[in-house]
Structure 1
Amino acid sequence: MATAADEGQLISMLVKLINAKNTMEIGVYTGYSLLSTALALPSDGKVVALDINREYYELGLPMIEKAGVIHKIDFREGPALLFLDQLLQDENNKGTFDFVFVDADKNNYLNYHKRVIDLVKVGGLIGYDNTLWSGSVALPPDAPMLAIIRDLRGHVIEVNKYLAQDSRIEICQLTLSDGITLCRRIS
């Protein structure tokens, strides 16, 4: 799923509201949320963009170049968990990100959270896309749904439950598009 237009607007506004300069995006796909973030950052702001597939980044690259924000993007191809683990090995990286947007493999959302929580500063934001997962998170387990929705539904429910109980964050789940959960780190 691509980021919806209303989500892109929200991301842009959030980045501006918190005066973000150092951000990260896990899962690039069409590059729309990446573009929204880069446009909202000040001229010296950066977004580290992680994706396992460079083709996804290149899909949105013409628009990123046309918008004149390529200098704000540090694209890294490869497994995001490996990159996050490498960042965490250096204590100086902890608490340095203002905003992280996660829209990658849903089966790793909880693994991403357990890492990015230490990389985001207190007062910073983490956004998780698709946390309503086509409404399946509120349906009974035997309800009819597409195979991909059924296959990943449990992972989305698991991360939603975890986020709701994580005392290090305040959360707000929005019903924009397929659901976006915002987490503000409070400790």
Structure 2
Amino acid sequence: MASLSNFDDCKGLLQSQELYEYVLETAVYPREPEVLKELRAITANHPKSLMATAPDAGQQIALLLKMINAKKTIEIGVFTGYSLLLTALTIPQDGKITAIDMNKDTYEMGLPVIKKAAVEHKINFIQSLALTVLDELLENHENRGSFDFAFVDADKVNYQKYHERLWQLLKVGGIIVYDNTLWFGTVAMPEESTKEELKPGRLHTIEFNRFLAADNRFQISQVPLGDGITICRRL
């Protein structure tokens, strides 16, 4: 089997690296579109490549998008655009993605591949704080209950604030997927055993996971793909 790039290498939470590699090589990579492979290779050269969506988690997201026939979506945290491109490839030709990120430079790293895939017309990239955009969307009552799907891979401290706004924007039966909800496995580690740079994210993630578990507005499933994703279906 082919060796993994660094950004794949640290994403898996399975029992062994060999088992994670088996999943990728057997089920994920053979079905990964060539443009996604290309963007993943570009992203692997970025010093913060671990921020990218893991390809196994991406495969699950694509399946969810198809299952609910998603057409209008929102993405908070774009980075180089792996999950954004994946979504754009999956939704219909007249589908629309509101994509929000503070950093336009990383988005532009992946933009040539997005253009190559001929899906740029589906994307409305907004360089901004996400909370500002979400509040602006909510000011227009036509946006409330109109989104089919949301993907959140951004600053963990604001996950609960994003959740409250997305709940209002999402239609009944719509889905939100949160990334990094197992935070490199540190959520199950004692704080003293956690690397210093991971401690703040660990605490925010633990708090958010508890919040989601008690939120009866959503049906949830926490899935150990990539760095952990939590799938939330609005009831």
Which TM-score band (shorter chain)?
Answer: over 0.9
Query: Is residue 127–residue 182 contact of structure 1 (8 Å, CA) maintained in 2?
Result: yes
Q: Which amino acid aligns with 2:197?
A: I
Mean CA deviation greater in 86-95 or 127-136: 86-95
Q: Please give the secondary structure, in 2, of the residue aligned with 1:99.
A: strand
Q: Please give the secondary structure, in 2, of the residue aligned with 1:24.
A: strand
Residue 217 (structure 2) pairs with residue 168 (structure 1): yes
Q: Which amino acid aligns with 2:183?
A: W
Q: Which residue of 1 aligns with 2:36?
A: none
Q: Which residue of 2 aligns with 1:12?
A: 62
Q: How many residues are paired up?
A: 185
Deviation, structure 1 residue 11:
1.3
Quick one: distance in 2 between partners of 1:123 and 1:117? 11
Quick one: distance in 2 between partners of 1:92 and 1:174? 32
Deviation, structure 1 residue 148:
2.4
Quick one: distance in 1 between partners of 2:99 and 2:177? 14
Q: Which residue of 1 aligns with 2:197?
A: 148
- Name the % identity: 57
- Please give the root-mean-square deviation of Cα atoms over the aligned residues, in Å: 0.9
Task: Find the structure with the greater CA-based Rg.
Answer: 2
Quick one: distance in 2 between partners of 1:38 and 1:58? 16
Quick one: distance in 2 between partners of 1:167 and 1:151? 27
Q: Which amino acid aligns with 2:124?
A: D
- Gapped regions of structure 2 (runs ≥ 5): 1-50
Partner residue of 1:48 out of 94, 98, 118: 98
1:67-104 deviation per Cα after TM superposition (whole angstroms, max 9, x unaligned): 11001001000100011011112222111100000001
Q: Which residue of 2 aligns with 1:124?
A: 174
Residue 227 (structure 2) pairs with residue 182 (structure 1): no
| Structure ranking higher in helix proportion | 2
Deviation, structure 1 residue 8:
1.5
| Structure ranking higher in strand proportion | 1
1:27-72 deviation per Cα after TM superposition (whole angstroms, max 9, x unaligned): 0012000001000000100111000111121121111111110010
Q: Which amino acid aligns with 1:77?
A: Q
Residue 185 (structure 2) pairs with residue 135 (structure 1): yes
Q: Please give the secondary structure, in 1, of the residue aligned with 2:192.
A: coil
Partner residue of 2:154 out of 89, 98, 104: 104
Could you tell me the TM-score, scaled by structure 1's length? 0.96
- Gapped regions of structure 1 (runs ≥ 5): none
Q: Which residue of 1 aligns with 2:130?
A: 80
Deviation, structure 1 residue 132:
0.1
Residue 68 (structure 2) pairs with residue 68 (structure 1): no
